[in-house]
Amino acid sequence: MVWNDLRDELVGYVEMKYERGEVDFQSGNVFDLGYKGEFDAVLITEIIEHVAHPDRFLSKIGEMVKPGGYVVMTTPNGAHFMNKLPKFAECEDPERFEKIQFQPNGDGHIFLLWPDEIEDLAERAGLEMDRLSLFTTPWANGRHKTELMLRFVPKSWVLKVERLMELLPEGIKARLMIHSATRFRRREHGQHVESCVDGDGKLL
């Protein structure tokens, strides 16, 4: 297993959480480390929204996994009704964001991808998108000034409400949920896969 982050100062913090197995701690730009077609799976969590070229980023990540391997990505849901950030598909000049990319925390978000954008990026990266899930309501995440309330509400109640929300129609979920998780599979050599996601994020 290889762990990577741009920030070298995080290595010590992550090593404190080490429990078992062999982990190679590699800080720096992952694309400078020379990995290509080596991994069974790559996990990219809360990263793609910090880069100026999410299309190039996902393509590079796809090249790091073996044919038939997986990429699992989490990122804020751009279709959420409170999102004010631009849509990458509608940005004519992403180069102008290069100077501000790679910044940490929510202030460093550049684009929040919509479900239909994720499908398009996967297609261009040679990846098959075989699952997309939307999750977490704003109030369960402490938004809308609910952080104080969450200190007193039992966790089991919060989880129960979250499960009920997941039963909502896909169109409502796409506007309500603030996070998305997507599993991609790198195509085998010569494989062509046709898939489609509707505007609500539902895989067809």
Q: Partners of 186 in the beta sheet?
A: 127
Cβ atoms of residues 112 and 47 within 8 Å:
no
The answer to which of 58-67, 82-91, 142-151 has the lowest mean pLDDT is 142-151
The pLDDT of residue 41: 97
The answer to which of 21-25, 31-35, 140-144, 145-149 has the lowest mean pLDDT is 140-144
> Percent of the chain scored above 70 by pLDDT?
91
User: How do residues 10-53 score in pLDDT, each as one tens digit?
Assistant: 999 999 998 999 999 999 998 888 888 899 999 999 999 999 99
Residue 17 within a domain:
no
75, 146, 177, 179 from 113: Cα distances, Å: 8, 25, 13, 10
Give the DSSP H or E segment for 184: strand 179-186
Residue 59 pLDDT > 90: yes
Q: How far apart are CA 57 and CA 202, in angstroms?
A: 23
Residue 137 within a domain:
yes
The answer to which of 43-47, 116-120, 190-194, 197-201 has the lowest mean pLDDT is 197-201
Cβ atoms of residues 40 and 73 within 8 Å:
no
Residue 192 within a domain:
no
Residue 199 pLDDT > 60: no
> Percent of the chain scored above 90 by pLDDT?
66
Residue 142 within a domain:
yes
Tokens of 65: 């996994």
Residue 152 within a domain:
yes
Residue 143 within a domain:
yes
Classify burial at 40, counting beta carbons within 10 Å of its beta carbon; exposed 0-12, middle 13-18, buried 19 or more: exposed
Tell me which residue range forms the domain holding 64: 35-186
Tokens of 83: 């999102």
User: How do residues 152-182 score in pLDDT, each as one tens digit?
Assistant: 889 999 899 899 988 999 899 999 999 999 9
Residue 1 within a domain:
no
Q: How far apart are CA 13 and CA 197, in angstroms?
A: 38
Give the DSSP H or E segment for 180: strand 179-186
Nearest CA among 143, 140, 166 for reference residue 155: 140
Residue 127 within a domain:
yes
Residue 64 pLDDT > 60: yes
Residue 110 pLDDT > 90: yes
Other Cβ atoms less than 10 A from the Cβ of 49: the count is 19
Q: What is the DSSP letter of 39?
A: E
Classify burial at 101, counting beta carbons within 10 Å of its beta carbon; exposed 0-12, middle 13-18, buried 19 or more: middle
When divided into structural domains, the chain yields a total of 1
Q: Which residues contact 154 (CB under 8 A, 6 or more apart)?
A: none
* Kind of pairing between the strands at 127-135 and 179-186: antiparallel
- What is the CATH classification number for the domain harbouring 123? 3.40.50.150
